[in-house]
């Protein structure tokens, strides 16, 4: 949101003293240590100490509201000397602060291999963030969901979720799932440990496009544990929605966009600001020919609200109706005509322990009506579903194939009691 502040604008001519001070400060540091390191150090120190740079430039800085002007000079010089004597980059200080709060998460889970229908063990890895010193870990739902029974917080009998802490990779902790939320792709884990280094929580509502952004996580898994990439905030309130993810809400995710490199394994890791405070939880990137530097993170303010609900009840209550299916994004009128099938919404997955399973919906059913209203697209399905409340009974008309061709099928009217979208 932009605000018109012209009424409060002060002419530069009337702020000569403040501007001279800033020029002298930067010039002095540049002569002593090099311009790039000096300016980076100034920005880092002022940000850490919540000193408003604009107030110094405009000449109305009030020392009573923060560190004294003389102290600024001394401390900035000291800070820049430290940065310059090591790597010349304030990102090194950020990494040193944040890495101890980032963990690696490894899951193992059973699955059936299609070849000879044999049982196999799958392995997945991702990142997590220590948010309390007594063992609460924040990560993405998609990092752990393969180890869990459908739509629950309960692990499969042979599944494991292990947390590896930086510097203690030989002592993994077994993690329990406190709660998870598919819509926002967040999950809260708990390990039996104390004295951990919790990350400092920032304020994602105060971000601006162009702010420094540093991503910390484990791209590629534990092989590259504690990796740091640097970029900027490229955009705010980016709407991202994956209709093939199985979520049955038309709620779009408003995410932070960044060009800091985010790769598989970074999921669940931290996006932090220039002071090393958590501003986002890395969740996904766009991978497609012609696209580069499009990573996304869940704003920390939204995430911490979800965390509180997961702590208290294990799920997020939205009071919104849920069917419990995933649908195809490719099935349209052209494909329907080619196959000799009716237009509608093609079911590709029926979630376990969901209203859809209880009602008897099946994979490859084509939903054509809800309570007599024709639906041809996923958006039309959502619009009709959302007219009702959890607990309401609706009649879903589906076309179910009974043979090999589109002509071999029948229409069924299936009563379904809507659930609540709380996962």
| CA 81 and chain centroid, separation | 36
| Element holding 340 (H helix, E strand) | none
Smallest CA-to-CA distance from 344 within 369, 371, 322 is with 369
Smallest CA-to-CA distance from 10 within 62, 65, 68, 54 is with 54
- Using CA atoms, how far residue 75 sits from 25, 69, 82, 356, in Å, is 12, 10, 11, 63
Angle at 150 (CA atoms; ends 419, 138), nearest 5 degrees: 100
Cα–Cα distance for residue pair 420/318, rounded to 1 Å: 7
- Whether 244 is catalytic: no
Instruction: State the angle between helix axes of 35-48 and 69-86 in degrees (0 to 180), rounded to the nearest 10.
Output: 120
> Which residue is catalytic, options 84, 227, 267, 365?
267
- Whether 185 is catalytic: yes
* Token pair for 283: 């969740």
For the chain, how long is the longest CA-to-CA vector?
Answer: 85
Cα–Cα distance for residue pair 248/382, rounded to 1 Å: 8
CB 80 within 8 A of CB 30: no
CB 199 within 8 A of CB 266: no
Cα–Cα distance for residue pair 118/116, rounded to 1 Å: 5
> Which residue is catalytic, options 84, 101, 127, 185?
185
Q: What is the DSSP string of 244-311?
A: TSS----PPEEEEEE-S---TT-TT-EEE-TTS-EEEEEEEE---TT--S-EEEEEHHHHHHHHHHHH
- Residue 43's Cβ-side half-sphere holds a number of Cα atoms within 13 Å equal to 13
Please list the residues that pair with 108 across neighbouring strands: 123, 160
CB 264 within 8 A of CB 249: no
- Whether 89 is catalytic: no
Smallest CA-to-CA distance from 232 within 206, 208, 213, 216 is with 213
> Which residue is catalytic, options 84, 142, 204, 365?
142
Smallest CA-to-CA distance from 285 within 140, 155, 165 is with 140
Active site residues: 142, 185, 267
């Amino acid at each position: 949101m932009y605000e018109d502040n012209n009424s409060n604008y002060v002419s530069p001519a009337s702020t000569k003293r403040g501007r001279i001070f800033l020029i002298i400060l930067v010039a002095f540091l540049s002569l002593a240590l090099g311009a790039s390191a000096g300016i980076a150090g100034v920005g880092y120190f002022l940000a850490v100490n919540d000193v408003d740079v604009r107030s110094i430039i405009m000449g109305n800085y009030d020392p009573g509201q923060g560190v004294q002007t003389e102290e600024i000079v001394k401390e900035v010089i000291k800070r820049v000397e430290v940065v310059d004597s090591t790597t010349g980059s304030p990102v090194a200080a950020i990494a040193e602060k944040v890495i101890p709060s980032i963990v690696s998460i490894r899951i193992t889970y059973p699955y059936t291999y299609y070849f000879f229908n044999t049982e196999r063990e799958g392995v997945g890895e991702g990142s997590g963030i220590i948010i309390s010193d007594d063992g609460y870990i924040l990560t993405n739902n998609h990092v752990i969901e393969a180890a869990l029974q459908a739509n629950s917080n309960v692990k499969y009998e042979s599944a494991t979720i292990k947390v590896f802490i930086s510097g203690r990779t030989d002592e993994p902790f077994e993690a329990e799932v406190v709660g998870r939320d598919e819509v926002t792709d967040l999950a809260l884990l708990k390990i039996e440990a104390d004295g951990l280094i919790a990350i400092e929580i920032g304020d994602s509502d105060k971000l601006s496009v162009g702010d420094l952004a540093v991503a910390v996580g484990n791209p590629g898994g534990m092989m590259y544990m504690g990796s740091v990439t640097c970029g900027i905030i490229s955009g705010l309130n980016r709407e991202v929605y994956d209709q093939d993810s199985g979520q049955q809400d038309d709620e779009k995710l408003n995410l932070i966009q960044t060009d800091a490199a985010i790769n598989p394994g970074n999921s669940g890791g931290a996006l932090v600001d220039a002071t090393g405070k958590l501003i986002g939880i890395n969740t996904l990137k766009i991978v497609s020919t012609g696209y580069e530097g499009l990573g996304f993170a869940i704003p920390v303010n939204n995430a911490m609200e979800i965390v509180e609900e997961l702590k208290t009840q294990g799920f997020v209550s939205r009071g919104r109706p849920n069917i419990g299916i995933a649908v195809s994004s490719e099935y349209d009128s052209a494909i329907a005509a080619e196959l000799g099938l009716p237009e509608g919404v093609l079911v590709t997955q029926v979630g376990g322990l969901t209203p859809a399973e209880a009602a008897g919906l099946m994979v490859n059913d084509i939903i054509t009506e809800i309570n007599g209203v024709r639906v041809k697209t996923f958006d039309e399905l959502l619009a009709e579903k959302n007219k009702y409340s959890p607990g309401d009974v609706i009649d879903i008309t589906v076309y179910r194939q009974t043979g090999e061709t589109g002509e071999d099928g029948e229409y069924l009217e299936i009563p379904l009691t809507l659930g609540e979208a709380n996962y």
